Each structure stands twice: as structure tokens, then as C-alpha cells.
Chains A and B, each alone.
Chain A
Amino acid sequence: MTDRMNPVPPDNADVAAVEEVDERQPEAVSVVAAVTVVSGVDPQKTLDAVASQDYSPTSVRLIGAHHEGAPAGVVLNEDVAAMVAGLDASVEYVWVLHGDAEPRPDALRALVNEAERFEASLAGSKLLVGGTLDTLESVGSATDVFGEPYSGLDEGEVDLEQYDVVRDVAFVSSVSLLVRRDLLRGLRGLDSDLAPVASGLDLSQRVRIAGGRVIVVPSSEVFHQRRCGRGDGGWREQSGRLRAMLKAYRPVTLLWMVPFALATGLLDSLASLLLGRWRLAPRYFLTWGWNVGHLPSTVAARRTLARVRQVGDEELFRYQVRGSVRLRQVGSELSDRLLTMFDEDSTVSRRATEVWNSASTWGILAALIVVLIGVRTIFLGGLPVVGYALPFGDPVTSLVRFAGGWNAAGLGTSAAVHPSTGPTALLNLLMLDNPEPARSLLTLVAFSLGVVGIGRLAARLDIGGPGAYLGGIAAMFGLPATTLATEGRWTALIGIGLLPWAMAAVVGPRPVTRRHYLGSVGWAMVALAAVTCFVPALAVVPLLFALAVAAIGRFPSRPLIASIATLGALVGVPYLLSRGPALLDGLPFQVSGHPLSVLVLAVTVLLAMVAGSWRAGAVAGVMIFGGLTLARVVGPDVQEALLAVAAVGVGLALGAALRPRPTRTTASWAAAVAGGVVLLISLAGVGGGRAGLPPDAWEHGLQFMTVDAEGVERALLISPEPDRLPGESRPGPGFWYRLIDTTGPTIDQMVLGPPDEGDVALQAAIEEIATGATLEPGQVLAPFAVRWLVSLEESAELVSPVLDAQLDLNSFPFVEDLLVYENTAVRPVAVTDQGVPWRREGTGFAGTPTDQRVRLAIAGNERWEPDWQQEDWAGTVDGGQGGTAYSRLSADRVTVLAGVVIVLAGLVLGVWGRSGRR
């Protein structure tokens, strides 16, 4: 084997070896060495290496018109064709060598010997990357039908002689090739218009078409400095390859190849955009443009080749790979990128053999299977409509509401909608307004993200491994998550799935390059914005987490990135401001938990700390128990944020408890056992298959109402408990109630605005009805556009005695488990003085233009146009324009839009930064 510690070793041992060869094979074959000048590279090293060859070429030529002066014994030639034309017929081979190449001393001999032995017309060397000891650049290559090279080598693959066999190949690089002089002359030499790799491809194909054999000779090793270009990119290389194929193929092949090449280029360009590579499309454009420009010379070259053609295109196809190398590559990159996003330590994206040998792989697979089981009924039968798990509304209208438009919740309000309206509407839009599949998909993805995210976050805290992925199960189905699920807090469950990503984005080592750094800022911003959208009060958690981790000091933290990323929380600011005091002293929901469960959790955390993960365990412990404790003394928005933090803490605790350790102590075994118990307890939440959410309460029950509903009337829903109503509710006389549109509850109407005059009036109306003081409750409810009064049967004791004795609410007995009354005196939300209703249009209303005023049963304000006039708690607008809408730029709208812009900028930064890592 050649000494790899010295690329050009003139040591005695090798010389002796060469001498042995000399004895076997006399130098009967005349070879001319043609060193092609590479721009900006002094060819002297190459010339020296040629001079030190143990197989002496007859003469050495330096090809390159621009090179001034020539070393002694070296003849200057303008180009290869001219040189070949002037060669004596006794010369059998020409060794073409790039000026940035350094062949080993035996390189030429090996080429000559093998070319002779295999009767090859063209033989190429094995190329090693210059400056390295043994990194492979090329050992001959195949192509696809479009001329795209396929070497089969991995980036940085080391030469272990694994390819050291002489074989026929599609083409060899022009960096070092030995070609029969007569053939080279007949083929008019190398195409001077082509870049190096394309040039080799072109020559190889022409040689093969002329009946010659093209082989690679691995024993001929040449170090290539790559100053002429790596040959793996650039539009000139691409153009050259296309030209090579256009020259080589018969017309019938070109007939289908060209359109396919165009389509492939288009697909490649589009797919590459997803990888953040925008240059592909212009490159394809230039490629085709260049070839169109050089079409005359290409046609001429085809004519020349036709004269010597000995074989058909089939001979070329023999050495080509199937399909498109580019598309295969970009597809592979995309899947790699996707997997890397989820699995930073490349658990999944490692090579197959490694994947299946990795415990983490099995951990993540097991966790994902559990997730699938845990949400199975959601995927099979849809998400229940209960609590905060509400259907998505019309995507465009929802986006307008998200961006500061009118909030139709209850009697309507100018307060911001819950920010989850934005991303859910976007997803619905992307799924072509298929809200149910979108809801199910989002749930599944969020739960899967949660599992993988816990693994990612745990890895940043040095407690990664299969246990961390199992911890993901505990995070998504454990005690805090179950508490949220029981309350129907679906958005909070989605928030749990996203939170580990936002937290992981603000810890970990500082990115190496500026581009990577900016990319990390971008992704952190996106992750934080996503979390904020679903659980707004979580907006500050990543920053606090980064600061806490920085204070601990053991783990790398990125507080600056966290600070900048917090700008992404702007999307949730209007909502948080609208909640005001309710954030801390709103009506809390029950945060229960069996003391035994809490005890087991505490034991698990403490054992994990004692076993060695004391810092990560402490972080997890504070998150769990701090979250669970504080969640009992604050309002529901903060409650769900704290419980989400606690849920992530449970996942980390399990990761710490099940952390793989080189040596197991009693404490670590005990921690693992305790962790197993926590996992088992968490699996209880998987059983129902609804992610712990209560059964559907309103989707099927309200179908009667939604048929042909146009959203211009409302329904008054009544329940004995607030969590059984869709979204937020208000306390009434002995029950809870809320208004929804007759089109059904939607996520944009999930949260009610702060109580205003309209709510006070509605409250008074409901009180009046509940006391039985009116014989015509329908008339009382008519100003609020209530057409349906729907009560859970559990409230019958309060509702029935009153509603059984009244005159204008007709009983609707066809709905199971609900008491339903239809108001015969209903008035639409928007109606003219003469009773002509206006229909809902987007976030506003429209109808036939009229000179009357149109009454809007909404708690509106002067931003409703045209000409809003307040009347009691509602108001009227001028009907002359045939439409009314809520307009004007509000601070909320500006803030949300600024947040969206920041998130988009973060997304671009993130993609850009990540693409720079490759």
C-alpha cells in the first residue's frame, strides 16, 4: 500500500517497488503528458510530480495559452487539440493532467499498464482530495440519463481501498486521464468550452460512443487540489454536462430526454426552495440558456461524433443509474432535514444499521406508538367538541379576527381573540378548509412533537436518551396534562407539545457561526410565537428558563437568543392585555391530583437527583411542583401555562430518572423504578384515546342548530358546570351560560371578552327568565338574537320549571341529553327597522342597501361603519351602503401584525441559518 503520510513520497522503498515493476513491463509505450493550466495555480508542482514519475513520458506539454514562460523541458501548447494534432504517430497515449493535481510517482505507470491490460481507450486515475491524506474525491463515476454525476461516495469518505478494482465506468474526471492519442485526435480533443468534470464526462462519452472502453484505475492515485473547481456545482459544470449529453445521445433519445430534463430541473428547483436554496432555478435557467447559445457548436460536435460512432445510446445507458440523481438527492436532503429538525442528535436519521441499534430509536418509536394509541379516537372519529377543543371556523374570517378584526364571541367584542385562532386558521387554509382533519392532524402532530421535543430538551440538559422520549409520554399524558385535558383545555395540550421546542431553542451551546446564530434566533422566535399562540401566558417561560439554566451554570444557555425570541410573543400581547386582571384572579379551574401521584412524582425527582442528575432533576422538580402549586392561586390563563410547564417538567423528570448511566447505583435503580411507576400512571391517560379530553358534548348535539345556519342568530347554552360548555362561560343564576353563533362553536369564539354593557343586559335578561317573572322569555332574549336556548339535562331542575310555563319558546324534543327551546320571537343579529335581516359576510354583515338604519345586536362601538349610533348596549348603522364592517386600525391589529412580521422574519432567518449548516 502507498504511504499515505506522504502524498508524493520519493522514498527509497517506493522507488524499489517501481523498479520491480520496471523489470516486469518495459517502457515500450510512448506517452505524452499534457498538463492543463488551471487559472491562478502555478503548475510547477504538477510538473515536478510528472518529472518524478517512474514511467517517464516521452514529453511534457503545458497546455494553456495564457501561461507565460515554460520550465525547461516543457513544451507550451495552446490547447489539447492543437497539441494532439502535432504529435508524432509513435505516441500511443496522452496523459491529460490538471495543473492543480499531484500524481503519485507510480500514477502514470499504473494507468499505462491497466490501459494496456484492459485494452482501454481511456483510463482515469483515482482522485484524492489534496491536502488530505486519504479522502476520496473520485474513483470514476456513473451518471443519470441527464448527465448528473453519481460517484457513490459520501462526503469526506476515506479511502480504505474499498474501491480498488479496475472497472468500466461512465466517465472519469479530466483531472488525470490517459487517452489513446489517435482517438483523442479523432475526437478533436477535449471540449475547451467545458468545465473540468463536464469535460471528462464529455470525453468519456465520446470515447465510449466511438467504441472505446472507459475504465478507472484506482492504483493510479492523484491528489487534486480542487483549484479548478470541485465539479459538484456551478452552472458552468451543469451546462457542460447537459452539452455532453446533447452531443452524445441519438435524436430519438433526445426527444424524451430534453423534456424530462426540463421537468426535472423544475422539480429540483422547487424542492430546493424548501431547503432554502434559491439559486437552483436561476442555475437551470442559465444552463439551458448557455446551451441554447452554444447550440451551433453542439450541433457541429454531434456531426463530428457521428462520423466515429460505433455504438448506440444503450452502451451509455449501461453505466447510468436509474432516475434522477438530483431529485433523489434533494428528496433525501429534505427527509434528512425534516428528521434532523425533530431529532437533533440524529437518532432517527443515522444510518439504518445505527438506527436500529440505538436505544433512543426504540424509545422514540415506543413513545410515538403510545401517542398514536392515546389519540386514536381523535384520528379515527375526530376531536370532541368540548371545553376549549372547538372546531375551526372559516379560515379567512378567523385570520381577520386574529389580525385585530371584530371578535364575535358572545355578543361581540373589540377585545382580541385567543391567538390560537391564527395558526389554526392558517392550518385550515393550508388544508383547503377541511377543519376536522386539520384539528386531528394538529393534535397528532403536537403530541408527537411533544414526545420528540422532550427528548431534544432533555438532551440539552444532559439527560437525553430513550428515557427522555418515554418522558414525552408522561409530559403529554401525565398528571398536569390530564388536569388540562379533563378541563377540555385542548389549546394548552398543543402548547405542551410545543413548549419543549421553545425551551430547547434557548439552551444549548452557542451557535458557531453568525449565520447559525441568526438561524437559531429565528427558530427560537418561531417556536416561542407558536407556543404563545396556544398558551399566551407561556410567552415569558423560555426566557425565564434560559436565565434559570444560565444561573445554574452547568448547562449552556442562550439568554440573549431567548430575549430576542421573546419578540415573537407579540402575537399574544393583545390577548394578554385584554384579559387584564383575569390573568391572576380569574375564575380558576380545578387543579386536582391524587396525593399519591404527587408523592410518586416527588420521589422520582428526588431519586433522580440523588442518582446524579441533580441539576436537571432540580430544574424538573421546580417546574413540576412550582407549576402545580402556583396553578392553584392564579387565573385560568396563567393556570394552564403553569400546568404546561409542570407537564414538561414531568417529562424531564422521567428523562432524568431513566437516564442511561455507565454504572448503576442503588439510587439510580430506584429512580428508574420510580420513573417506571410515573410512566405507568401516565399511561392511564392513554386509555380513552382522546388525549384525555372529555367525550364530545356539543358537536352532534348541536347539529340540529347548524343546519342551514348563516350565523345571523345565536344560541344560549346552559350548563351546571363551566367546563362542560364550549369555551369560556359566564356565571348565571344557578348555572353557567354563554352565547354562540348558530353555526356552532368555533375556536375564534372560544374566549369571551371582558364583560360590557351587553353582557350586563344579557345577564339581567337571564335572571329575569330564571325567576319565572316573564311569560315571554323569547321576547326577552330576542334583542340578543337568541334563537335557541340549549341546556344540559343536568340543569333541567333549574331551567324546566321556568321554561315549561312560557309562551314563546317552543320545546324542541328531538335532541338527546339536551333541553332545547326555539325562540319564536327571535330577531337576527343584523336587521333593518322593517325586519329585513342582513346576512353575515366575513366579520361584518351585508344586505340589500336601504335608507333605513340597521340594528346590530352586538356590543359594538364607533369602529363599526358606516355611522354607528349607540342604542342601549347595541347600536345601529346606516343601511345605505348595503354592508357594515368593523374597521380602522387598532393598536391590537398593529401589535398582532408586527408579531406576525417578526415571526415570518424568524422563519426566514431560521431556514436561512439552518441551510447554512450543511
Chain B
Amino acid sequence: MKVFGLLVVAALAAATLVVPEPAAPVPHAPDPRAPAPYAVCPLGEAAGRTTAFPVVGGPAGQLDANVFSGGEVVATEAVTVEGSGTAVLELADVTGLARAPVLFGLDEPSRAIETIVTGDGMAASSCGPGSPDPQVVLGGTTTEGHAYTVVLTNPFAGSATVDVLAASEVGTESEPALEGIVVPPRSVVPVDLHSLLPGRQLISAAVITNQGQIAVGALHGSGEDISAMGGAGPSLDWYAPVPGLEGVSVTLVLYAPGTAEVPFQLDVYAPEDVFEAAHEDVIPARGQIAVPLADLLEGPGAIRVVSAGPVVAALRLERETGNAVVPGVPVPGPAWLLPGAGRLGAAQILVFNPGQVAVSARLLAGSGGEVETFDVPASTMVAVTLPERPVGARVEGDGDLVVTWVTAGEGGLAGDSAQPAG
């Protein structure tokens, strides 16, 4: 009996060591993030300049446009989307505020909205949800006669705190006023870099969010024209279709928001050939680098940026009476929305096929009517003209494409990257 007792206890003790512990309770995996049900347009202005917000994509429905400023929503407007999937909101119909960022509540995540600003020139900039990650704006100038303003907008309920890291031809800028900027809820904070960091020929900035979330935009006024860009997040790859515009110089601007320098190479897609690693260089940490494309590419074509670290790329277009910044596109896709294309006049739709197979593409009006069908050969950029129209267009292909648009008119230069559809 004693031996039996000893054996039982020993066996149970052994079982204690052998039986596995219960698995640590884990909650179920979160669902993938849904597309943001909103879009923020930071660069709205309703006094001095005119702002319109063309909408393309999705079925008929209704958007809620909330103009916010000074901690509150100052105006709200319901925007009806027609059956064609297009709509336009004229900001002046809603508010008279000089600086009037707008938060659109989207009833349908497949819609795209663009900010079209006119007055002292013309500019276009995509509206997006903003991000807690670094957002970069490129291609500004703060020399005399230029005004370059980074617009920090917080349409949300929580306060946000950000640092603005600026870089120019002199290197990474150090300006205490750009650190710890508080953006209160439902407010907009413009940061005039031309006042804080005057005299820079080419200046870019990364907005690092320490708390909360904001949407960023930048507006550059040269006196002759204006350009705009919404904050873009960094990526390792960038595609930049280059237009062939008379008298317009094109500069590729790259910015590395990280704390390490980033080597990169440029693949040049000229009409006649592809030049891989046509240019190699290193972007300083939290610094920018500008590459004039005239040395690499004659006429239209495309540039692919391949970097060893996260960077942001954009094209700066300049001519005597105009300038524009066209952000690069990080990921090719088969369908694109261009809400503002054509609103400032006839536009060149730049469609680049980075793949090795030709893609058949269609240019559609924003309302869905077909404008043109065309083929895009492999590794080739094709420019298609879109006539002037109030609401932009769509591009659909049977393969992955990269799409941007530019308009060169009497009023100036403007351009923007297309927004992926769906």
C-alpha cells in the first residue's frame, strides 16, 4: 500500500511536469483595416483663391463635407453624387474662410477627391485620410517672392503633436519653431517656411506625428503660379511619368525621412530604351536630393526610383510662368481615378506601363463615358490628352499602370498623381 501511494504521488508529480500548460489566451486576430471612411483636403481656401473639390468614383450617394477651423466644424454640406459617380463641391458655396480645410465623410470608400485651387495660378492636390506615419511634401521654394506654406490640419477629435523636419540645398534644417507643433482638434495650423527658413531654392519637409493624426498639404506660391502637394508617405519604389512639355524643366526631388542615409538608383524609361541605374546617389538622412531630369531623359518618358530605404519622390515642373509638383506613384495598379484632371483645362494623362507586357488601357470620363482607348507598350509611357471638363477622368487597364496628369495652360502649370480606384 505504501509503495502504491508513493507511485501514485510520483506519477502525478510527473504528470504535472509533463502535461503542457494551457495555451495563453489570445484574442482573435483583428480584421484588416477598412479603407478610411473619410478624406481630408487640407488646402481648401475660400477667400482670395477659389477651391473646388471634384469627386469621382463609386455609385450614386451622398458625402458629408465638414469645413473645420478653430476647433469646431464651421460648416457642413451634403454633397450629392450623381448616378455617374461624380460630383463637385465649390468651397465658396459653403464657407468664406480664407483657410478652410474640409473633411469629407465618405459613404463609399471607392470615391476619390481632389483639391483644385485657382487664383494667382492653379494647383491640384489629392485629398487623403492622412496618416500617423511621416508625411512628406516636396518641391517648395522660399526665396524672395515665393511663399511656401506647409498646412497641418487635424479634423479629428483628439489633439495632435508633430515635428516638421525641413531639408533644403543647405542640408537638414534646424529650426526649433518646427518642433512640437500642437495641432488642436478640428483645427488647421499653417507653417510658413518662407518666414522661418527663407532663401531656400528647393525645400522639402517631412511631418513626423508624435501624437494623434493629421493630414498635411503644402502650397507654394511663386507670384506667377501656385503649386500644391498633399503629404505622401514613404516607400522603397517610386514611379514618375515625365511629361514632354515645351519650356518646362523637370526635376526629380527625393526626400528620406528616416534617420539613415538612403542609397538609390534611377531607372530611366526613355521612349527608345530603358536605362537601368542611369543615376545612382545617396540621400542624406532626413535630407533631400534633386536630380534634374534633363540630363537623363530627353522628352517624355518615365523614371523609376529604387531605394534602399523609405523615401518620397515627386517631380517639380517649372517654367517661367508656372510651376507644379506632381507626386510619384509608389505602386502600379490597373485602375485609377483622376478627379481634377481636365478641370483646369485640357490635361495630359501620363500613363506608364512599368511591366514587361503591353497593356491595353481606356481613358474614361469621370462619369464613365469612354474618351479613348489606347495601348501602352511595355516599359513605356504614353501621354493621352483629356479635354477640359468639370470633373476628371478614370483610367482602366488590363495590366498594372502608373498614371499622373499635368495641365499646362495660360494660368500656369498644374498636375497630380492619380488615385487608385477601389
Q: How far is the CA of A49 from the CA of B55 in the complex (A)?
A: 128
The 0/1 profile, CB within 8 Å of A marked 1, for residues 365-393 of chain B is 00000000000000000000000000000
Judge whether B37 is part of the interface by a CB distance below 8 angstroms.
yes
Are B157 and A771 in touch, CB under 8 angstroms? Answer: no
Residue on B nearest A588 in the bound complex, by CB: B22
Given the contacts A800-B132, A808-B157, A591 and B22 also touching, CB distance less than 8 Å:
yes
Are B212 and A804 in touch, CB under 8 angstroms? Answer: yes
**A535-543, A606-614, A677-685: which one contacts chain B?**
A606-614
Given the contacts A598-B13, A774-B37, A798 and B19 also touching, CB distance less than 8 Å:
no
Q: How far is the CA of A566 from the CA of B155 in the complex (A)?
A: 63
The 0/1 profile, CB within 8 Å of B marked 1, for residues 781-815 of chain A is 00000000000000000101101111111110100
Q: How far is the CA of A752 from the CA of B90 in the complex (A)?
A: 52
Judge whether A517 is part of the interface by a CB distance below 8 angstroms.
no
Residue on A nearest B3 in the bound complex, by CB: A614
Are A722 and B157 in touch, CB under 8 angstroms? Answer: no
Residue on A nearest B160 in the bound complex, by CB: A804
Q: How far is the CA of A801 from the CA of B214 in the complex (A)?
A: 11
**A396-404, A520-528, A730-738: which one contacts chain B?**
A730-738
Given the contacts A609-B5, A622-B12, A629-B12, A775 and B17 also touching, CB distance less than 8 Å:
no
Judge whether A605 is part of the interface by a CB distance below 8 angstroms.
yes
Judge whether B31 is part of the interface by a CB distance below 8 angstroms.
yes
Centre residue among A632, A731, A805 by max chain B CB count within 10 A = A805
Are A614 and B2 in touch, CB under 8 angstroms? Answer: yes
Residue on A nearest B106 in the bound complex, by CB: A775
Are A809 and B9 in touch, CB under 8 angstroms? Answer: no
List A contacts of B13 (CB < 8 A): 598-599, 601-602, 605, 621, 624-625
Are A810 and B158 in touch, CB under 8 angstroms? Answer: yes
Are A771 and B28 in touch, CB under 8 angstroms? Answer: no
List B contacts of A27 (CB < 8 A): none
List A contacts of B130 (CB < 8 A): 805
Judge whether A377 is part of the interface by a CB distance below 8 angstroms.
no
Given the contacts A590-B24, A805-B213, A810 and B6 also touching, CB distance less than 8 Å:
no
List A contacts of B129 (CB < 8 A): 805
- Chain A nearest Cβ from B61, distance in angstroms: 15
Partner of B157 from the list A614, A621, A770, A807 (CB cut-off 8 Å) is: A807
Interface residues of A in 574-620 (CB under 8 A from B): 587-593, 595, 598-599, 601-602, 605-606, 609-610, 614-615, 617-618
Q: How far is the CA of A592 from the CA of B12 in the complex (A)?
A: 16
List A contacts of B27 (CB < 8 A): 731-736
Judge whether A842 is part of the interface by a CB distance below 8 angstroms.
no
Are B37 and A773 in touch, CB under 8 angstroms? Answer: yes
Q: How far is the CA of A801 from the CA of B33 in the complex (A)?
A: 10
Are A775 and B9 in touch, CB under 8 angstroms? Answer: no
List B contacts of A775 (CB < 8 A): 37-38, 105
Judge whether B176 is part of the interface by a CB distance below 8 angstroms.
no
Q: How far is the CA of A601 from the CA of B12 in the complex (A)?
A: 12
The 0/1 profile, CB within 8 Å of A marked 1, for residues 27-39 of chain B is 1111111101110
Q: How far is the CA of A590 from the CA of B20 in the complex (A)?
A: 10
- Chain B nearest Cβ from A362, distance in angstroms: 30
Q: How far is the CA of A735 from the CA of B155 in the complex (A)?
A: 27
List B contacts of A628 (CB < 8 A): 16
Partner of A618 from the list B5, B15, B22 (CB cut-off 8 Å) is: B5
Given the contacts A618-B5, A625-B13, A811-B158, A773 and B34 also touching, CB distance less than 8 Å:
yes
Q: How far is the CA of A595 from the CA of B2 in the complex (A)?
A: 25
Residue on B nearest A719 in the bound complex, by CB: B27
Judge whether A767 is part of the interface by a CB distance below 8 angstroms.
yes
Q: How far is the CA of A805 from the CA of B129 in the complex (A)?
A: 8
Are A772 and B34 in touch, CB under 8 angstroms? Answer: yes
Judge whether B8 is part of the interface by a CB distance below 8 angstroms.
yes
Judge whether A824 is part of the interface by a CB distance below 8 angstroms.
yes
Q: How far is the CA of A44 from the CA of B421 in the complex (A)?
A: 125
Given the contacts A591-B22, A801-B132, A733 and B31 also touching, CB distance less than 8 Å:
yes
Judge whether B25 is part of the interface by a CB distance below 8 angstroms.
yes
- Chain A nearest Cβ from B311, distance in angstroms: 23
List B contacts of A430 (CB < 8 A): none
Judge whether A292 is part of the interface by a CB distance below 8 angstroms.
no
Judge whether A633 is part of the interface by a CB distance below 8 angstroms.
yes
Q: How far is the CA of A767 from the CA of B211 in the complex (A)?
A: 23
Q: How far is the CA of A625 from the CA of B5 in the complex (A)?
A: 13
Partner of B9 from the list A602, A734, A810 (CB cut-off 8 Å) is: A602
List A contacts of B33 (CB < 8 A): 771-772, 801
- Chain B nearest Cβ from A193, distance in angstroms: 70
Judge whether A626 is part of the interface by a CB distance below 8 angstroms.
yes
Judge whether B159 is part of the interface by a CB distance below 8 angstroms.
yes
Number of A-B residue pairs, CB cutoff 8 Å, is: 146
Interface residues of B in 172-203 (CB under 8 A from A): 185
Interface residues of B in 31-54 (CB under 8 A from A): 31-34, 36-38
Q: How far is the CA of A158 from the CA of B160 in the complex (A)?
A: 89
Partner of B159 from the list A625, A809, A811 (CB cut-off 8 Å) is: A811
Q: How far is the CA of A615 from the CA of B2 in the complex (A)?
A: 8
List A contacts of B29 (CB < 8 A): 733-734
Q: How far is the CA of A865 from the CA of B8 in the complex (A)?
A: 57
Partner of A587 from the list B25, B32, B132 (CB cut-off 8 Å) is: B25
Given the contacts A736-B27, A775-B105, A807-B157, A609 and B2 also touching, CB distance less than 8 Å:
yes
Q: How far is the CA of A664 from the CA of B19 in the complex (A)?
A: 36
Judge whether B21 is part of the interface by a CB distance below 8 angstroms.
yes
Q: How far is the CA of A382 from the CA of B157 in the complex (A)?
A: 37
The 0/1 profile, CB within 8 Å of A marked 1, for residues 95-125 of chain B is 0000000010100000000000000000000
Given the contacts A731-B27, A813-B159, A621 and B22 also touching, CB distance less than 8 Å:
no
Interface residues of A in 874-894 (CB under 8 A from B): none
Are A803 and B158 in touch, CB under 8 angstroms? Answer: yes
List B contacts of A632 (CB < 8 A): 19-22
List A contacts of B36 (CB < 8 A): 772, 805
Judge whether B10 is part of the interface by a CB distance below 8 angstroms.
yes
Are B156 and A590 in touch, CB under 8 angstroms? Answer: no
The 0/1 profile, CB within 8 Å of B marked 1, for residues 721-765 of chain A is 010000000011111100000000000000000000000000000
List B contacts of A810 (CB < 8 A): 157-158, 185
Judge whether A821 is part of the interface by a CB distance below 8 angstroms.
yes
Are B9 and A606 in touch, CB under 8 angstroms? Answer: yes
The 0/1 profile, CB within 8 Å of A marked 1, for residues 123-145 of chain B is 00000011010000000000000
Interface residues of A in 629-675 (CB under 8 A from B): 629, 632-633
List A contacts of B31 (CB < 8 A): 733, 767, 770-771
- Chain B nearest Cβ from A515, distance in angstroms: 37
Q: How far is the CA of A617 from the CA of B7 in the complex (A)?
A: 12
Q: How far is the CA of A614 from the CA of B10 in the complex (A)?
A: 13
Q: How far is the CA of A599 from the CA of B16 in the complex (A)?
A: 10
- Chain B nearest Cβ from A286, distance in angstroms: 61
List B contacts of A593 (CB < 8 A): 16
List B contacts of A771 (CB < 8 A): 30-34
Centre residue among B22, B36, B159, B185 by max chain A CB count within 10 A = B22
List A contacts of B26 (CB < 8 A): 731
Residue on B nearest A773 in the bound complex, by CB: B34
* Cβ contacts A to B, 19 pairs, < 8 Å: A588-B25, A591-B22, A592-B21, A599-B17, A609-B6, A617-B9, A621-B8, A624-B12, A625-B15, A732-B28, A735-B27, A772-B34, A772-B37, A773-B37, A801-B33, A805-B129, A805-B156, A806-B156, A821-B157
Extra contacts besides A633-B19, A731-B28 (19): CB < 8 Å: A589-B22, A591-B22, A602-B10, A605-B13, A609-B6, A621-B12, A625-B13, A629-B15, A632-B21, A733-B28, A733-B30, A734-B30, A774-B37, A798-B30, A801-B213, A804-B132, A805-B129, A807-B103, A810-B185
* Residues of chain A having any CB pair with chain B under 8 Å: 587-593, 595, 598-599, 601-602, 605-606, 609-610, 614-615, 617-618, 621-622, 624-626, 628-629, 632-633, 722, 731-736, 767, 770-775, 798, 800-801, 803-811, 813, 821, 824
* Residues of chain B having any CB pair with chain A under 8 Å: 2, 5-6, 8-10, 12-13, 15-17, 19-22, 24-34, 36-38, 103, 105, 129-130, 132, 155-160, 185, 211-213
